[in-house]
A and B are shown apart, each in its own frame.
Chain A
Amino acid sequence: MDNHGRANAHEERLRNLLVRGLAGDAAAYHAFLKDLSAHLRAYFRKRLSGLLDDVEDLVQESLLAVHNQRHTYDPGQPLTAWVHAIAKYKLVDLLRRRAGRDRLNDPLDDVLDILAHNDSEAAAANLDVAKLLLRLPDRQRLPIVHMKLEGLSVVETARVTGMSESAVKVGVHRGLKALAAMIRTRR
């Protein structure tokens, strides 16, 4: 298959998974993020030849961005365009911070490219999300630890932490946003 055909096949599959994920199907959402991370890795690796160390950080930053902003996906919109815009935004943001030190070896505008390739071999990320997590305030860290790492429900997390259920949900949401901001600004 050429790039176009491959991208179309992936678009169909991933869009389906994301739409189910947005409706609350956590397994489909997990499969979506896992597949997406391979596409993001291939996309960044190709464009960051001089900064291979940063690829995995950027993959993780983009995954957090996709997750935190997933309510901006309109199911009527091609997934490729949405993912590409996020990945490109994060890439340009990184390059702007590194301006002058490295050069792009590829044009950034090849929208179809993003779902055409994947790369499932993760290198180690420089920034450890688990360590960044420790720096969050308790009201954000505890809900994330109990809900997202230990898999407790909102009700259970509320009982364990003594927080209200809405405070638990807000804590997870704000905590993940704070993590994304920490990854973004710490490089």
Chain B
Amino acid sequence: MKTDDLVTLLATGAAAVEPDAMARRYATALGWGAFGATLLMAILLGVRPDIAAAARLPMFWIKLAFPASVALASLFAASRLSRPGARLGWTPSALAAPVLAMWLLTAYVLLGAPAPERAGLVMGRTSEYCLFDIPMLSLPVLVATVWVMKGLAPTRLALAGAAAGLLAGAIGALVYALHCPEMEAPFVGVWYVAGMLIPAAAGALLGPIMLRW
């Protein structure tokens, strides 16, 4: 087939494209992914029994706000990386900001605590669960986000995969925070960050394999 004929074939009957098609796909994927993560958490781990009492403490909300802001920033990064030629712009700073804020809070808490207690504040009692459960809860969003990206056009595949993984990890951490009994900033600053980075690294490895087009 000559190229001109292919042009005619492609243009014939080409209907209008919905301008918000991309945003709607991301919204659908995140909705189902977050629902799946919440369901997994409720069935396999359970909501922490003292959640009503915990919700009166500021740390409970900081523990939610931190992954929520990482999720929002990585959603912006992922959607930009899904468009050919779109610049990342301010999204790396938006990703770094909540992590730096969490680390500042971590440093503040550690410096204010007596030296023998510091290790305990960082290690908590559930760090190994955190490292396993956050990546596990990130799976529904990871699958959904990769599915969305496959229908778009990422050109930097490892970076796009990493953004998808970080988005999934952040939603996984957000949902995990409803189960997790730890209430110290140093624990969140270390283990939540590590838990979110595991799916991000997996995404960076999977991207070049899964996202080709």
**Which residues of A are interface residues toward B (Cβ below 8 A)?**
21-24, 26-27, 29-30, 33-34, 37, 41, 56, 59-60, 63-65, 67, 69-75, 77-78, 80-86, 88-89, 93, 122, 124-125, 128-130, 144, 147-149, 151-154, 169, 172, 176, 180, 184
Contact = CB atoms under 8 A, between A and B. Distances in A.
A67 B10 contact: yes
Contact of B13 (A84, A93, A148): A148
Closest 5 CB pairs between A and B?
Answer: A24-B16, A85-B84, A81-B85, A85-B85, A30-B11
A102 to B, nearest CB: 21
Interface residues of B, number: 30
A72 B10 contact: no
Nearest to A129: B1
Given A30-B11, A71-B18, A71-B21, A84 B85 contact: yes
A148 B84 contact: no
A168 B28 CA distance: 23
A25 B83 CA distance: 23
Contacts of A56: 3
A155 to B, nearest CB: 11
B64 to A, nearest CB: 31
A21 B83 CA distance: 18
A148 B213 contact: no
A85 B155 contact: yes
Given A86-B153, A89-B155, A180-B213, A70 B17 contact: yes
A144 B18 CA distance: 21
Contact of A74 (B10, B86, B213): B86
B13 A147 contact: yes
